[in-house]
Amino acid sequence: MSIDAVLRSAVSGLNTSQAALRTTADNIANVNTPGYARKIVQQETSVLQGETAGVKLATIQRVIDEFVRKSLQSATSQSERYSAMANAHSQVSMLLGDPNDNTSLTGRIDQIFTGFANLAGEPDSSVRRTGMINDLTNLATEVSRLSSEIQILRGDIDKKINESVNTINDALARVKELNEQIQFETLNGNAGNGLLDQRDKAIAEIAENIDIRLSDLSNGAVAIHTTNGITLLDHSLRKLVNTPAGTVSSASTFNQITVNLVDPSGSVSSTGTALDARIQGGQLRGLLDMRDSVLPDMALQIGELSGNVIDRLNAVHNDNSAVPPLNSMTGHNTGLAGTDVHGFTGEVTMALLDSSQEITTQVDIDFDAGTYSVNGGAATAFSGGTIADVVGDLNTAFGAGATVSFSTGALTFSAAGANDGVAFQQGTTPSDRGGRGFSHFFGMNDLLSAGANSHYDTGFATTTAHGFGSSGITTIELRGPDNDVVLTYSLDFSAVGGSAMSDVLSDLNTGFSGYATWSLDSNGALVATPSSSYSEYKLNVTSDSTDRASTGVNFSQFFGVGDRYRTDASNSVTVRSDIVSDPAKLALADLDTSAATGVPSLTVADGRGAIAFQDLVSTNISFTATNELAAVTTTMGNYASQVLARAAVNHDQAVKLEGDREALTKELETRNDQISGVNMDEELSNMVVYQNAYNASARLISTAREMFNTLIQIVN
């Protein structure tokens, strides 16, 4: 080997060792940098004209295991999904409180029944009555608080969804830019390892928010897709488009997130591919599940509980009377008209009492026979079968002593004398419409109210006149759990083609053919049964311009179409204000229609109403199914316990799934670090090796120089 060849080989060794030392220095400097993949120097023999000519730097490689890296991305997505859900469930658990605490939902229910038990023994105690009103108010406040807080939590999650979408969009834009830089470096013969590290970090950020898979493009670029095939990035950029809802309520619906193409000028396409149903992992999936499924069902469960509690307490309160009795009672807007058939069966007594609580006029009504009698006299047939007919005949029966009226869907029963009172009592065969007595159906003496009706048992039959006239449109959509709308139908009363409920049902069944079947149950509630393919889909009314009999009650309000109405039975729950102001108006006495002349028919010491309230603690009630709780017949307390238990199970499950996925993620991170992470001992060892190689090459150069000098001296 010539001296020149020795010199060239030494210089190549010097340069290669410098590159290796520089790479080692980079590794050491980035030992704590997240996402950094260590680099190794690949050397190869330099060959010139078939002869060895030293060494050259082949490439600087990033040390990665693609299988481990992809597995880590997938595990991270699932870990973040359940982490988001676990965090939201933790907030729900804080809202619900400890089930064993007196301030929890079950604790408040237990308190009211304890209060009624105490009242049964001392119905005339003002202290007991005040305490009872406080317990009822506390229950109403707790239910309303939970209803409101769940919607607030949904709103907070909706904001986090938008933040997650923005994070994904920013990271996709960075990957697109880095792809272009990497392609440029590749075409110029450079590895672009630093750019690859930056891109991996951006991809990891996307994987935290949504499940993804990668595919290779030309010259080192990558395409990003969701795991089930929605393209997020290839040669063109996409943008996730999301519209936050702002204030969220039970009536809120959400637009689907879409993936829209971005053209080279930066303009975003106005249409895109719906994404919600295609997301399988990441923080975004967990947030969507909580906002659109878990929390709405929790709110529905509380609404179902609240509606039944209100309905049952109101039933007892309507069957009893305050002492002294109220001078006037006005019910709520039922949406009925005076021309509607009354629809009642069974018997009820309406009474007018004087200031001594003695009955002065007693009207016994037998709806089955279609008659009424005054003060035990002969039965008189009603003049007709409508509500207006019954009201007119009752006015005749009471004469100047009391007035019965029906206006804008509400019934009023008032004593003419300022010191007189009015009361109701169910008969031996209790009056009934839609499963409720006469006073209860009209809400004449309700104890509690909420932001929506506690029931939608209208008492209608298929032959009943629907009462919505020939104008007005109710627009109903069938919406899936991922905010996909498969059907939007307009119930147009100008095209219904008839006046009976059967005509409305026929129109709805035609419009929803293949999707759902509409019917009336035995109590007159409107029931929509989805077909098996759409069992998880829900009805939602987007607009309603109908008005039943000019009462201001539209079709969806009258029949409670959609879960929002069941949910809102827990919204703004209140105890009747005049009872809060005067606990003496709490109805605990049962009207005694058999009291002898001179004997009061109502006494303040009568605690039979309190006993009836207390009996509700063991009364089985039919609760309608929600997504997570099956239909069940049980007590109020047991159902409340089921609601809390379901929330606890969901929380526990989310925490366990989070723990499992987090453990897998950490294991994969450890394995990835073992492969791609920087090992200081190894790098320091490499530094010594490369330093020695550098020194040896430098020594060869020095030796070659000495040889050249010697030769020159010899020649001279």
The confidence score (pLDDT) of residue 341 equals: 97
Output the CA–CA distances (angstroms, integers) from residue 595 to 356, 402, 570, 591, 601, in the order listed: 13, 21, 40, 9, 6
589 domain-assigned: no
Paired with 448 in beta bridges are: 575
Which residue, of 536, 559, 582, is where some domain finishes?
Answer: 559
Does residue 46 register a pLDDT over 70? no
Q: Which of 511, 532, 559 is the last residue of a domain?
A: 559
Identify which of 302, 251, 283 has the alpha carbon closest to the alpha carbon of residue 157: 283
> From the centroid of its chain, how far is CA 101?
25
> Is 482 within a domain?
yes
Is residue 87 included in any domain, yes or no?
A: no
Share of residues in the chain with pLDDT > 90 (%) = 74
pLDDT, the chain, mean: 91
Eight-class DSSP state of 601? S
15-19, 122-126, 331-335 — which is least confidently predicted? 15-19
Decide which of 506, 529, 559 is a domain's last residue.
559
- In the 8-state DSSP scheme, what is residue 644? H
Whether 514 is covered by a domain: the verdict is: yes
The token pair at 464 is 């009943």
The predicted-structure confidence for 85-122, as pLDDT tens digits, reads as follows: 999 999 999 998 877 777 889 999 999 999 999 999 99
CB-hemisphere CA count at 13 Å for 294?
Answer: 29
* Residue 79 Cα distances to 35, 69, 140, 162, 652, angstroms: 18, 15, 38, 20, 15
Residue 20, pLDDT > 70, answer: no
How many C-beta neighbours within 10 Å does residue 132 have?
A: 25
SS3 662: helix
Instruction: Say if 684 falls within a structural domain.
Output: yes
Q: Determine the average pLDDT of the residues in 155-167.
A: 96
Answer whether residue 194 is part of any domain: no
pTM more than 0.75: yes
**Structural domain includes residue 567:** no
Residues 6+ apart with CB under 8 A from 277: 480, 482, 484
Q: Is the pLDDT of residue 34 over 80?
A: no
Q: Which residues contact 386 (CB under 8 A, 6 or more apart)?
A: 338, 339, 340, 341, 342
Q: Which two tokens stand for residue 662?
A: 């987090």
Residue 527: domain span: 473-559
Counting the structural domains of the chain, the total is 2
pLDDT at residue number 668:
72
pLDDT in tens, 681-709: 676 777 777 677 677 777 777 777 777 77
**Per-residue pLDDT tens over the stretch 485-507:** 999 999 999 999 889 999 999 99
Of residues 608 and 674, the one with the higher pLDDT is: 608
End-to-end CA distance of the chain: give it in Å, rounded: 23
Q: Which two tokens stand for residue 379?
A: 């039965």
**Average pLDDT score over residue span 623-648:** 94
Q: Which residue has the higher pLDDT, 715 or 575?
A: 575
pLDDT (tens digit per residue) in 221-267: 999 999 999 999 999 999 999 999 989 999 999 999 999 999 988 89
pLDDT band at 194 (very low <50, low <70, confident <90, very high): confident
Would you call 713 exposed, middle or buried from its count of C-beta atoms within 10 A (0-12, 13-18, 19+)?
exposed
Give strand pairing partners of 353: 359, 421
SS3 content of the chain, % helix, strand, coil (to 5): 45, 20, 35
Listed range (45-59, 127-141, 441-455, 628-642) with the worst mean pLDDT: 45-59
Predicted local distance difference test score (pLDDT) of residue 57: 65
pLDDT at 243: 93
Alpha-carbon distance of 294 to 302, in angstroms, equals 13
Residue 94 counted as domain residue: no
Place of tokens 């993804």: 212
Question: How high is the pLDDT of residue 389?
Answer: 98
